[in-house]
Structure 1
């Protein structure tokens, strides 16, 4: 018995489409006017990177969530909020809430977590080519920097 999918508004001329046939040919059902989830997430991540980049030179301030000063997790919160996605406030909470991905599958906009003893203590936003946007520490400012260690975890904002 084959499953039948009938969507009158999309397939009125084609009739009922067999989901099994659709799956067999590798097809997917995309409703006009909608954006697939992966594409939407990628667009949000790209916007978050661009927003973080626009804050280059903003001073580090512990507890800062913008728009004029930031701490590391505050920059991530601010950038993603402006891009349309909410994040928890602290680095560890952000790690816990993200979808964990490998270094091999990291993408622009993924969060990069620096850790010690199973605890994430610093976060940046992956900008590609081994670099992150981050607010490093007191006395510094938001900047683009190469990831200086392999002791990092990656998290994708869902």
Structure 2
């Protein structure tokens, strides 16, 4: 278990507790979230400060390879890192897919046609 694991477990637990809440553009909780608002709030609950926007969060940690991804790592999609999810383990993530949907946990590879662009470990 890495030194990042205890904080990551807190971030994952927080994110999972938000499942079912509405996705709203620009929302950072507690009643609704956008993708980066959710990951920011999850890591804040674990004692780690992240920037507000997904493309800024993509630069706020240590890049990791998919083969070494751990729960709590941030998974970014699209060339401009405009969508982020929180890896929960076993190829799954919690994310706020977009306005009109709800926060959910689903396979990382199930996010439409998007491919993983970057993976970052915040703490």
Aligned ranges for residues 1-158 of structure 1 at < 5 Å?
Answer: 38-39=2-3, 41-116=4-79, 119-148=80-109, 149-158=114-123
TM-score by length of 2: 0.91
Backbone CA RMSD of aligned residues: 1.1
> Once the two structures are superposed, what CA deviation does each residue of 1:98-127 show, in whole Å capped at 9, x if it has no partner?
2100001100000000022xx111000001
CA contact (8 A) 2:78 2:115 kept: no
Partners of 2:96 and 2:28 in 1: CA distance: 11
Structure with the larger RCO, 1 or 2 (CA within 8 Å, 6+ apart): 2
CA contact (8 A) 2:75 2:116 kept: no
Q: Which secondary structure state, in structure 1, belongs to the residue aligned with residue 59 of structure 2?
A: helix
5+ long unaligned stretches in structure 2:
none
Instruction: Show structure 1 runs of 4+ deviating over 4 A.
Output: none
1:24 equivalent in structure 2:
none
5+ long unaligned stretches in structure 1:
1-37
Partners of 1:42 and 1:58 in 2: CA distance: 25
CA contact (8 A) 2:23 2:103 kept: yes
Partners of 1:107 and 1:77 in 2: CA distance: 17
- Measured after TM superposition, the shift of residue 91 of structure 1 is 0.4
Q: Which secondary structure state, in structure 2, belongs to the residue aligned with residue 96 of structure 1?
A: coil
Identify the structure with the greater helix proportion.
1
TM-score by length of 1: 0.72
- How many residues are aligned here? 118
- Measured after TM superposition, the shift of residue 49 of structure 1 is 0.5
- Measured after TM superposition, the shift of residue 151 of structure 1 is 3.1
